[in-house]
Amino acid sequence: MPNVPASVLRPIAVLVVLVGLALVLQGCSSRSRELEPGSYRAVLESPGGELPFGLDVAREESGLVIYLVNGKERVRVPEVVVEAGKLTARMPGYENAITASITGDELEGEVTLVRAGGKKQSMPLKARRDQTWRFHEEPLSDNADFAGRWSVTFTGDKGNKSPGVAEFEQRFGTVTGTILTPSGDYRFLAGDARGDELLLSRFDGAQAHLFRARLNERGELEGQHWSGNFGHQRFVAVRDPDVELDMSSVATDMKDPAVKLEFTFPDLDGKPISLSDPRFQGKVVIVTLAGSWCPNCHDEAAFLAQLYREHHAEGLEIVSLMFEHFGDFAQAANATRRFRRSTGIDYLTLIAGTSSGDDADKALPQLTGVFAFPTTIWLDRAGVVRKIHAGFSGPATGAHYTKLTSEFTEFTLGLLAAPGTSEAPAASAATAAPGLSAAPGPSAAPLPSAAQ
């Protein structure tokens, strides 16, 4: 090999080292900016402290998906895009989104929640792979027993009070359950028991909730609840296996039972639809007041979608009057289309107004008021209102959900089997089964709601 001057070798050696280093760094950078499958512990930054939830990443035939995990519930999020080391995920059926930068096994970014009027609320997000604990990495072996049924009184920052019923299950330091309210439920809550402290949280793509409570010397649970990064209330809970909810705060009825329900609103293409149209004549009609932003409306819609598919041929029609966060028709229609896809709706959805103010009252002035989303109305084949139910207890409530959906089904089938009549009901149709279905901030909120 001929002798090569050192002055020539040095630059070549330096170039080789630099090229090799660049290739190594490029490989590391490429790997660190990929979203790796696995289980992540995700945490939102809340005024009450860490608000954790599970986030599972999986590669499926359809591509990369994530799952939001809260206790027994796993919410599948298929709209996931990873580009240039950045994750963007749109929540199914909602306008909310996750955006985060990817660095190795960590995510850092924010959750954006769309509120009334289209206002956006951002909550900082961090997540780390291969961590599956909720609030505490090292559980304690000696914890208080929080399992059972509790009577809850919520108190808002302005002193307003509202009732709830908490139902918890506990296995060692792990606690799951929900809180029922007159208008709905807080859906799937999950967390930890740590000594005499109870910590629960939920982020399911719709809302972010954090509960912190402690047993006092009287055996009561005293705590605070934060919704998103602005909703706040205090609460006290007392063990009571026989507690039933006072439903009077959300009860509604027809002002005059002899007057028929009437409305005209545009469908998603802008075509006006009236309850007096021929398509509804001689049919049993269910009218539900809902919004794509309302988690319990999603729960009810999924049930009604199945009910409609099974009994539409027998003369059942369902119409959802949508009250969206957007005053712009195109935005409201697009939000409703996402809602339809997420819940499998085939029945009519009409844009009836916005989620703020008194649009719901104006939409149906024949009612004594609209106090909860959803509110559901049954009309017989003659167009007479036979039942009004405020709120909805979803799958997180277990036996309550089973009982409620059975009652909905049986009542609907009874109307389908009965001949039409023009006689008004003898008694009030505004009913909601005790103990089934608020404090500001449940999934299906009373109007107005600080947590929405």
> Tokens standing for 442?
């449940």
Q: Buried b vs exposed e over 101-110: b needs ≥16 C-beta within 10 Å? A: ebeeeebebb
CA dihedral over 124, 128, 132, 135, signed as positive or negative: negative
Q: Which residues pair with 273 in a beta bridge?
A: 265
pTM of the model: 0.87
SS3 per residue for 161-220: EEEEEEEEEEECCEEEEEEEECCEECCCEEEEEECCEEEEEEECCCCEEEEEEEECCCCC
Domain holding 165, by residue range, is 148-239
Same-domain check for residues 302 and 404: yes
Within 10 angstroms of residue 422's Cβ, the number of other Cβ atoms is 10
| Cα–Cα nearest to 294, from 438, 165, 434, 412 | 438
Residue 424 lies in a domain: no
Q: Which of 239, 273, 291 is where one domain is finished?
A: 239
Q: Would you state the pLDDT for residue 428?
A: 39
Cα–Cα distance list, 195 to 41, 144, 192 (Å) = 22, 6, 10
Same-domain check for residues 230 and 114: no
Same-domain check for residues 225 and 309: no
Residue 394 lies in a domain: yes
Distance, CA of 281 to CA of 273 (rounded, Å): 13
Same-domain check for residues 91 and 159: no
Residue 157 lies in a domain: yes
Give the CATH number of the domain where residue 79 resides.
2.40.128.20
- Please, is 362 exposed, middle or buried when counting C-beta atoms within 10 Å of its C-beta (0-12, 13-18, 19+)? exposed
Q: Please count the structural domains in the chain.
A: 3
Same-domain check for residues 301 and 346: yes
Cβ atoms of residues 35 and 149 within 8 Å: no
Give the CATH number of the domain where residue 338 resides.
3.40.30.10
Residue 177 lies in a domain: yes
Q: Which of 99, 129, 159 is where one domain is finished?
A: 129
Same-domain check for residues 173 and 297: no
Same-domain check for residues 309 and 393: yes
Same-domain check for residues 395 and 269: yes
Same-domain check for residues 278 and 385: yes
Beta strand 184-185 with 189-194: parallel, antiparallel or unpaired? unpaired
Residue 303 lies in a domain: yes
Residue 254 lies in a domain: no
Residue 437 lies in a domain: no
Helix axes 329-343, 295-311, angle to 10 degrees: 60
Same-domain check for residues 227 and 344: no
Q: In degrees rounded to 5, what are phi and psi of residue 31?
A: -65, -40
All residue ranges of the chain with pLDDT < 50 are: 1, 14, 16-17, 19, 23-25, 27-31, 426-452
Q: Would you state the pLDDT for residue 13?
A: 53
Same-domain check for residues 152 and 121: no
Same-domain check for residues 277 and 393: yes
Residue 231 lies in a domain: yes
pLDDT per residue over 44-73, tens digit each? 999 999 999 999 999 999 899 999 999 999
Give the CATH number of the domain where residue 234 resides.
2.40.128.120
